[in-house]
Amino acid sequence: MRLQIAIFVIAFNLPFSPLTASAQTQWAPCPIPVLRTHTLAPYPIAAAKNGENGAVLIAVNIAADGVPVGAKIVKSSGFTDLDEAAATWVKTKWRWEPPPKSCQSVRVSYSWNPHNADPATRELFENHH
């Protein structure tokens, strides 16, 4: 349970507070994502051909209107093309509800998993192995 809380805290930039069985804390993400915009990017073809996968941690700065104005790689997936594709996708496609000034940055963990790719890209990845 502690791992799930830590991931949630990182994803939504909330202060960590250990919970007890009797605690009834209501968690509200800050900033609030517009979920319909938080889609998966197309898997880079060259990355699939090379069998690349992994997770990248991105620091996203969000403007007052909820649009990202910056996306910086905090921790690489180990593959520059995957890192850049994830950062570009998050910055250009993802949106949040207009956040208060205290919530205008968030860290996003973006995972590249070939099993989530379209069938043609998945086949390229599988042919690599």
The DSSP line for 69-101 is EEEEEEE--S-HHHHHHHHHHHHHH--BPPPPG
Closest CA to 30 of 111, 107, 109: 107
Q: Give the pTM.
A: 0.74
CA max distance for the chain: 51
Fold category of 31-128 in CATH: TolA/TonB C-terminal domain (3.30.2420)
Q: Are 112 and 86 in contact (CB under 8 A)?
A: yes
For 1-48, the pLDDT digits (tens) are 332 322 233 344 433 333 333 344 445 568 999 999 999 999 999 999
For 79-95, the pLDDT digits (tens) are 999 999 999 999 999 99
**Segments making up each domain of the chain, as ranges:** 31-128
